[in-house]
Chains A and B, each alone.
Chain A
Amino acid sequence: MVDEKKLQDKAKETLIRDDVRRLIGWKRSTYGYEAAPAVLTDASQADQLIFDPTCVQNLASFISLEEKKPVARGAEPDTRKIAVMVKGCDSRAIVQQLVEKAYSRDDVVVLGIPCMGVIDRRKAEKLFGETAGQVSAKVDKEKVAVDIEGDVKTVDRKDILMDKCLRCRYPNPLVSDFLLGEEVEKWADDDFADVDDFEKMSPEEKWKHWDEQFSKCIRCYSCKSVCPMCYCVECVVTQLKPQWTRRSTDISENTAYHIQRAWHLAGRCIECMECQRVCPVDIPIMTLNRKMTRDVKEMFDYEPGVDPEGEPMLASYNPQDPEDYIM
């Protein structure tokens, strides 16, 4: 576990640095099973920072969310760094952003946190019901202890952790300037059994499933807004000229949107599962992303967000790539 005092001290130390503009961490939310991201600019605010299994958000998303305001004539642009706290899975987003040259390594200070898993809000609400109170939690190798305003409940890890944590292969940050806390041992592996199961369905069954799911979509674009890899200045789905996807919501446009979204993450998705977590209408978005991840690994032996020196998957090729269906 991470010592919160140590974490806050490190945050203070980082914020005091002249070359750091802001620090992104987590703080206790006003209510419920999920913490809130905290964007700090001053060392005096560092006391509110926390890290526990409620810290589910991938903060790597927030690096690119900050708008670049025009700089006044004669003024120098603010080139100071952004400090960001990352869990193991989140760190892969940073690696992949670096691979894609979204920014350079010198632009960020990465405070890595070894993580033992985070809570799935939906699972927690099923177990303990909704709460208007504040929640904190602790996790060890077997159990998660959830503290709802002093009322502590202990459950098995698999009943409450996010699915991604149950198959987590990178609990320790892959990139970091400072590591807060001891490295933890890897406890799981990923066999993509869910993808295999889905593939057993016939095309008709698959479409029936997606027809129902995509029909629910209200196109709030939270899945793309929260995605750490969706950092395009102008997204193709909101572009008007040419307008690839119409704004109207029907099964045609919704499907096109979701195919586009999944496609743009092929070989880039680092499986932080944020898209699925934020979806207000519970569309199993990760099903598409995981299919891509699995196939990219199988066909091109590529894994995104692991090697900072690597190349983006679709911007590289191997002359021996498979081409079994090409006539």
Chain B
Amino acid sequence: MGDYKFAKDKLAEVLSALEEYEVFAPEAIGDVLRFKAVSDPAGVNLDDYDNTTVPPKELMFPQTETLFKYRLGQTDVEPELPDPSSKRVVVGIRPCDALAYTIVDNLYGWDFPDPYYQKRRESTTLVGLACAVPCSTCFCPSVGGAPASEKGLDALMFDLGDVYYVKALTDKGEEFGRAAGLEAAGDAESKAAAKQGEDALAKVPRSIETTGIPEHLPALYDDTFWEQFSDRCLSCGICTFLCPTCHCFDIQDECESFDGRRARMWDTCMFAEYTRHTSGHNPRPTRKERTRNRISHKYSYFPEKFDVIACVGCGRCIKNCPVNIDILDILEKSKQAGAKEAKTA
């Protein structure tokens, strides 16, 4: 695979050259960053950006998405599938968020291949941007990632001061390099990039040893352990909506006089309504069960099924939680509690 580079001040030109693609890049409204379709390449700024507040999972499964439309008196429906021939490129996605796609792929390609998600995935080229300075809440190396991880990416960019070094990783990435008209990079850049990756890895502020966690979490199912965290949980959706691997959705029908649509929208296990039955019974009646579910799903149920922890260590849930429910704190304490539980059993 090829190595490319381009001068930093040429970013707008490079993005403009991608005519056949719909280009997505982080866009700032105030201090809040989010991936948006680029309308003005000159406005894209990849400097001093940690990560987007809302993860780019919304590019593959939007928060609200029409599945199909229907009309009174008509027997067939009109599906709204994304067009697989439209090419999209996401520029500046962080390695953790790209890794998240590879985890969620398991779910959306499992018992029922989800055409909406998969078509978007197929038509999208992911051009990552390695982290030179990790965020204050990152712990990606603990869960299989790294500030310069290549997993799930089609190409990876490194910010080397005044040039971007672009390492193509797949055919799609190669195609991106050609379409953007990038020049070939030399050994110097590739060495600098490798060094940057190693340096960044050493700077990741937090970590957890995950060995054994998936096995001992089920033992804590009925333990009061969870209450020390759930007692201060607000039951809001910040942690799950901002999680790049959380993928739950709700399906609702929205109707007007004669027309309607079936849409799916993000849902979260932190809301009481999530599990409430029609009868009014709720199998997860309190915040304890809901907190337990969030952690256990990521670190126990998902690994059990797909052999991978559904967490990429981006730190968004830690950073944005208003009441300091810190997933690393929970996991660390769960080890002690799990050991105690094992002893008594």
A–B interface present (Cβ within 8 A): yes
- Chain A residues in 8 Å Cβ range of B242: 218, 220, 280
How near does chain A come to B201, taking the closest CB pair, in angstroms?
16
- Chain A residues in 8 Å Cβ range of B135: 130
Q: A36-B323, A278-B238 are in contact. Are A30 and B329 (CB under 8 A)?
A: yes
Contact in complex: A220, B206 (CB < 8 Å) = no
How near does chain A come to B224, taking the closest CB pair, in angstroms?
10
Contact in complex: B285, A69 (CB < 8 Å) = yes
Contact in complex: B232, A37 (CB < 8 Å) = yes
**What DSSP secondary structure best describes chain B's contact surface?**
loop
Contact in complex: B271, A221 (CB < 8 Å) = yes
* Interface assignment of A210: CB less than 8 Å from any CB of chain B: no
* Interface assignment of B196: CB less than 8 Å from any CB of chain A: no
- Chain B residues in 8 Å Cβ range of A104: none
A234-254, CB < 8 A from B: 238, 240, 246-250
Contact in complex: A277, B322 (CB < 8 Å) = yes
Question: In the docked arrangement, what's the CA distance between A168 and B29, Å?
Answer: 29
What 0/1 pattern do residues 229 to 273 of B give for CB contact below 8 A with A?
A: 001111111100110000000101010000000010110100101
Contact in complex: B237, A220 (CB < 8 Å) = yes
Contact in complex: B287, A67 (CB < 8 Å) = yes
Surface stretch bound by B, among A2-10, A57-65, A88-96, A157-165: A57-65
Question: Can you name the residue of chain A whose Cβ is closest to the Cβ of B64?
Answer: A248
Contact count band on B: 35 or more
Question: Can you name the residue of chain A whose Cβ is closest to the Cβ of B135?
Answer: A130
The listed residue with most B CB atoms (<10 A of its CB), out of A36, A38, A57, is A36
Contact in complex: A281, B53 (CB < 8 Å) = yes
Question: In the docked arrangement, what's the CA distance between A250 and B271, Å?
Answer: 20
Number of interface residues of A (CB under 8 A): 43
* Interface assignment of B30: CB less than 8 Å from any CB of chain A: yes
* Interface assignment of B32: CB less than 8 Å from any CB of chain A: yes
How near does chain A come to B46, taking the closest CB pair, in angstroms?
19
A4-50, CB < 8 A from B: 29-32, 34-39
* Interface assignment of B31: CB less than 8 Å from any CB of chain A: yes
Q: A30-B324, A69-B285 are in contact. Are A248 and B234 (CB under 8 A)?
A: no
* Interface assignment of A189: CB less than 8 Å from any CB of chain B: no
Question: Can you name the residue of chain A whose Cβ is closest to the Cβ of B322?
Answer: A278
B64 CB contact (under 8 Å) in A222, A250, A282: A250
B322 CB contact (under 8 Å) in A38, A57, A66, A250: A57
- Chain B residues in 8 Å Cβ range of A65: 233-235, 287
How near does chain A come to B319, taking the closest CB pair, in angstroms?
8
A226 CB contact (under 8 Å) in B234, B266, B326: B234
Contact in complex: A281, B32 (CB < 8 Å) = yes
Contact in complex: B205, A132 (CB < 8 Å) = yes
Q: A31-B136, A278-B238 are in contact. Are A218 and B32 (CB under 8 A)?
A: no
Contact in complex: B29, A212 (CB < 8 Å) = yes
* Interface assignment of B7: CB less than 8 Å from any CB of chain A: no
- Chain B residues in 8 Å Cβ range of A212: 29
How near does chain A come to B190, taking the closest CB pair, in angstroms?
30
* Interface assignment of B137: CB less than 8 Å from any CB of chain A: yes
- Chain A residues in 8 Å Cβ range of B323: 36-37, 57
Question: In the docked arrangement, what's the CA distance between A26 and B241, Å?
Answer: 26
Question: In the docked arrangement, what's the CA distance between A277 and B271, Å?
Answer: 20
Q: A69-B285, A246-B254 are in contact. Are A226 and B29 (CB under 8 A)?
A: no
Question: In the docked arrangement, what's the CA distance between A228 and B88, Å?
Answer: 44
Q: A130-B136, A220-B238 are in contact. Are A32 and B324 (CB under 8 A)?
A: yes
B31 CB contact (under 8 Å) in A38, A122, A218: A122
Question: In the docked arrangement, what's the CA distance between A280 and B231, Å?
Answer: 21
Question: Can you name the residue of chain B whose Cβ is closest to the Cβ of A62?
Answer: B232
B326 CB contact (under 8 Å) in A30, A216, A246, A282: A30
Contact in complex: B232, A38 (CB < 8 Å) = yes
- Chain B residues in 8 Å Cβ range of A69: 285-286
- Chain A residues in 8 Å Cβ range of B143: none
Question: In the docked arrangement, what's the CA distance between A62 and B252, Å?
Answer: 31
Contact in complex: B137, A31 (CB < 8 Å) = yes
Q: A132-B136, A282-B31 are in contact. List 12 more A-B contacts (CB 8 A).
A: A32-B136, A35-B324, A39-B231, A65-B235, A130-B137, A218-B266, A220-B237, A221-B237, A222-B234, A248-B64, A250-B64, A278-B238
Binding site for B on A (CB under 8 A): 29-32, 34-39, 57, 61-62, 65-67, 69, 122, 130-132, 212, 216, 218-222, 225-226, 238, 240, 246-250, 274, 277-278, 280-282
Q: What are 13 of the A-B contact pairs (CB < 8 Å)? A: A34-B322, A36-B232, A38-B232, A62-B231, A65-B233, A218-B241, A220-B268, A222-B238, A248-B263, A249-B265, A274-B322, A280-B54, A280-B238
Q: Which 4 residue pairs of A and B lie closest in terms of their CB atoms, listed nearest first?
A: A222-B236, A220-B237, A36-B324, A39-B231
